[in-house]
Amino acid sequence: MLRYFQIYALLFRNSLIREMSFKANFLLWTVVEVLWFLGQVLFIDVLFSHVEYIGDWTRWQVVALVGTHQVVAQIFQAFFYVNLTQIPELVRTGKLDVYLTLPMDSQFAASTKQFGMDNLVNTVIGLCITGFALSKLGIWPTLSQVLLYALCVLLGVVVHFSVMCGLSTLCFWIIRAQGLVYGYFNLFNIGRYPDSVFHGSFKLVFSWLIPVILVANVPTRVLTQFAETPWAGIAQLAFSAALLLGLSRLLWLQGLRRYSSASS
């Protein structure tokens, strides 16, 4: 594990150098993300000018939810998104050969080669909005709540990584899987809505099979429901993350057996 941390540190350094070579692009994307995020907060303000609650969620709880959704999504995009969307093209062109010859795990190499610095800046903005919402609620989390929140955010990132990696890996069978990958990315926004607005089969699918509802709702409830920690939701999120990560790994190994390299 230490060796992989050292390898990733080098990848991180190279990505940072590349990002800073195009400072204008970095600043532009940061501004775009900030404006989009502020638009979401404005939408919440307009919505709660007509209602007092959405299910059992108050105005500032929903703002904290949107902030947490931003944190999870931006961390995922910073470390994995671009890499996973490129896997189908690597397979189609045979460029995956390069990663198979490296002295490291091929899935690790293919899914971590690039890093987005602008996304980390937007992660900080999400944390600030979440903290501001908590102050409006009069909530000051304990250290254990903050650590549990961080764990749930990490589990949410694992869920996103596992599902998108699994969808990208389908390219070993169907060649072009970009439609599935980008389709899942569009489902991200489901996670910024309170879980109490979903019902029936829709909630079942997106809480268990593709648990995008859990990734932001569970950590937000950890912070805002200080009287009762949502252990059931945390257990469900942890189980889903572990199961999906294992399935994505299995799919990758099975896919490599079908892969025809550029030289074969």
**Residue of 67, 25, 26, 63 whose CA lies nearest to 46:** 63
CA distance 67 to 133: 9
Q: pTM (2 decimals)?
A: 0.90
Contacts of 82 (CB under 8 A, 6+ apart): 114, 116
**Does residue 216 contact residue 191 with C-beta atoms inside 8 Å?**
yes
Return per-residue pLDDT of the chain as tens, 264 residues.
788 888 878 877 777 777 666 667 667 777 777 787 788 888 888 888 888 888 889 999 999 999 999 999 999 999 999 899 999 999 988 899 999 988 889 999 999 888 877 788 889 889 999 999 999 999 999 899 999 999 999 999 999 999 999 999 998 988 777 777 778 877 888 888 999 889 889 999 999 989 999 999 999 999 997 667 889 999 999 999 999 999 999 999 999 998 877 655
Amino acid (1-letter code) at residue 2: L
Question: In the chain, what are the domain boundaries?
Answer: 22-258
Q: What are 117's two structure tokens?
A: 């610095």
Which 3-state string (H, E, C) describes the chain?
Answer: CHHHHHHHHHHHHHHHHHHHCCHHHHHHHHHHHHHHHHHHHHHHHHHCCCCCCECCECHHHHHHHHHHHHHHHHHHHHHHHHHHHHHHHHHHHCCHHHHHCCCCCHHHHHHHCCCCHHHHHHHHHHHHHHHHHHHHHCCCCCHHHHHHHHHHHHHHHHHHHHHHHHHHHCHHHHCCCHHHHHHHHHHHHHHHCCHHHCCHHHHHHHHHHCCCCHHHHHHHHHHHCCCCCCHHHHHHHHHHHHHHHHHHHHHHHHHHHHCCCCCC
